[in-house]
Amino acid sequence: MKTDSPHILCVNPWIHDFAAFDFWAKPLGLLTLAAIMREKGITVSYIDCLDRFHPREPSQMKVLWDGRGPFRKTQIDLPQGLENTGKKFSRYGIKPQWFKEDLEQINKPDIIFVTSLMTYWASGVQETIEAVKEVYPDIPVVLGGIYASLCHDHAAKNTLADLVIKGPGEHQLKNIIQKFTGFELDAGNLPDVNIPDVEISGVSDVPGISNRVNDLDDLPFPALDLQNKIVYAPVLTSRGCPFSCEYCASSYLEPKLRRRSPENVFKEIEHWHYSHGVKNFAFYDDALLVNAGKYAFLLFEKIIASKMDLFFHTPNALHIREITRKAADLMFEAGFKTIRLGLETTDFSADRSHDVKVAENEFFNAIAHLKAAGFEEKQIGAYLLCGLPGQNLDDVEASVQVVKHAGIIPVLAYYTPIPHTPMWSDAVKQSKFNLLEHPVFTNNTLFPCVNSSRDLARISQLKNS
Ligand code: SF4
């Protein structure tokens, strides 16, 4: 057994896309693994290819009051099969030369962990790993994250990663580190996950970790301090979602709803605020307000009592039916500034083609509660799904009107076909692209399941209406 502590490099890869903007996007999973490893005495380095504040950045990138801002953008060739779209395709993030120099400047790592987010950013992940391998051809690269979990075989075939893992990484850390370095990590109280279909490809001979506990409070706070600058902090108070919408992979990625205690979340918010001056926080939860009396309300009450002057944002939609008057009042008092509601459609009929998450009166009541609490119209947006397989755009247009009439902002959310979701097979059948060929064809900017040019023109009208 090797006892020398290894050096592990964590990398957040480039994005390849038609458009990208930092809407409070941080690789929380990777930074949580970094924090665990650091806590266990492992030396951890971090290179963020999406760093808006890289020291070589000549002019400071623009930062909005809420921490969001643009990534550096470099136009690159359109992917094969999309050459005739007339669109511009870009790499978002730091210059390749800066990445190479950053890789050369650190001590040689023993393992390199690369994360991944959107499935259709696959080629950005591929390019990142190629760049890593140019500098460290003999160092094992482990790829995890959402693309790796949802498109495991594609990632295994099309990247130079030595190992592609599915699902949350915490419970796989010990085996991975042991396999590649011989170092015995004290798995201690790392949380368990119970995900069907999780496997560690290439290390199937390594047995699982014993003594697991299932308590997210045991995890250290994600190592946001490894970044060059912290302009906002993402916060995750829970993992998983009690719903299973047909287009969403939440229940595949996190089959059980698990919560952190309000005390633990509050400590994290205090930590980033007092130790690093962070004022803006983005909740990443899929289910922030579910069972709020036991969780979210206690957290909000603590924040209010602390008198910290903070701003909160909910880029992942809130569940509308959970927005009671009490929830709205507490969110307003705690400092929530951006409210996004998961509406999908205003077709509230029971026989509509997709599942009904919210009833008409629940939607209007929620808006009334938010406004009575003090939220302004411009702070409240309702996500409306657009571009679903076989969707009648009359419904989308009607929903936009209802939302506007209700006095809040309609936010069109363009459908991305995602493997392992119930809607995936319909999307594959109805798409104008071969979605099975490459994840890039699932990019929602391409409206993969909208086949007529008339409908495409209508969507852009709706977008600009
Ligand atoms: S779309 Fe939202 S509510 Fe539906 S399963 Fe996903 S996270 Fe849950």
Which atom of ligand 1 is found nearest the CA of 317? 2
Closest protein CA for atom 3 of ligand 1: 243
From the list 165, 252, 276, 171, the residue with the least C-alpha distance to 216 is 171
Rounded to the nearest 5°, which phi and psi values hold at 239?
Answer: -125, 140
Report how far ligand 1's centroid is from the alpha carbon of 38 (Å): 32
State the DSSP H helix or E strand holding residue 90, giving kind and residue range, or none if neither.
Answer: strand 89-92
Does ligand 1 lie within 6 Å of residue 254's CB atom? no
| CA-angle at 187, arms to 165 and 38, nearest 5° | 85
pTM of the model: 0.92
> Average of pLDDT values for 142-155?
98
Spatial contact of 151 and 126, defined as CB atoms under 8 Å apart: no
- CA–CA distance, 250 with 433 (Å, rounded to integer): 24
pLDDT in tens, 76-94: 999 999 999 999 999 999 9
Q: Put residue 411 in one of left, alpha, beta given phi > 0 → left and psi -120 to 50 → alpha.
A: beta
pLDDT confidence band for 353 (50 / 70 / 90): low
**Where does the pLDDT of residue 182 fall: very low under 50, low under 70, confident under 90, or very high at 90 and above?**
very high
Secondary-structure percent of the chain, ordered helix, strand, coil, rounded to 5 = 35, 15, 45
Contact 120, 443 (CB under 8 A): yes
CA 111 → CA 143, 147, 149, 265, 353, distances in Å? 11, 20, 19, 30, 47
Contacts of 391 (CB under 8 A, 6+ apart): 385, 415, 449
* Ligand 1 center to 370 CA (angstroms): 21
Tell me which residue has its CA closest to atom 6 in ligand 1.
248
Question: Which residue's CA is minimally distant from atom 4 of ligand 1?
Answer: 245
Out of 236, 237, 247, 250, mutate this one to test ligand 1's pocket (max ligand atoms within 8 Å of CB): namely 250
Residue to substitute in 238, 241, 318 for testing ligand 1 pocket (most ligand atoms within 8 angstroms of CB): 241
Under the phi-then-psi rule, with left for phi > 0, alpha for psi from -120 to 50, and beta for the rest, what region is 197? left
255: three-class secondary structure by DSSP: coil
Task: Give the closest residue (by CA) to ligand 1 atom 2.
Answer: 286
260-297: pLDDT as tens digits: 999 999 999 999 999 999 999 999 998 999 999 999 99
In what side-by-side order are the strands of the sheet with 89-92?
Answer: 15-17, 89-92, 73-76
Per-residue confidence (pLDDT) for residue 352, from 0 to 100: 58
Q: Is the dihedral of CA 366, 370, 371, 372 positive or negative?
A: positive
Interstrand relation of 280-283 and 233-235 (parallel, antiparallel or unpaired): parallel
* Index of the ligand 1 atom closest to the CA of residue 342: 2
The Cα–Cα gap between 310 and 17 comes to: 32
Is pLDDT of 192 > 60?
no
Residues 6+ apart with CB under 8 A from 55: 228
| Domains present along the chain, CATH in parentheses | 1-229 (3.40.50.280), 232-465 (3.20.20.70)
The confidence score (pLDDT) of residue 351 equals: 61
- The response to whether residue 356 sits with its C-beta less than 6 Å from ligand 1 reads no
- Ligand 1 center from residue 254 Cα (angstroms): 11
Alpha-carbon separation of residue 285 from 149, 152, 200, 250, 329 (angstroms) = 19, 24, 26, 11, 20
Residue 196 has pLDDT above 90, yes or no: no
Q: Provide, rounded to the nearest whole percent, the portion of the chain with pLDDT above 90.
A: 82
Give the integer Cα–Cα distance in Å for 71 and 445: 18
Does residue 212 have a pLDDT over 50?
no
> How many whole angstroms from 425 Cα to the centroid of ligand 1?
19
Listing DSSP states for 356-408 in one string gives --S-HHHHHHHHHHHHHHT--GGGEEEEEEES-TT--HHHHHHHHHHHHHTTS
pLDDT tens digits for 372-401? Answer: 999 999 999 999 999 999 999 999 999 999
For the CA of 357, the nearest atom of ligand 1:
3
Give the tens place of pLDDT for each residue, 420-429. Answer: 999 999 999 9
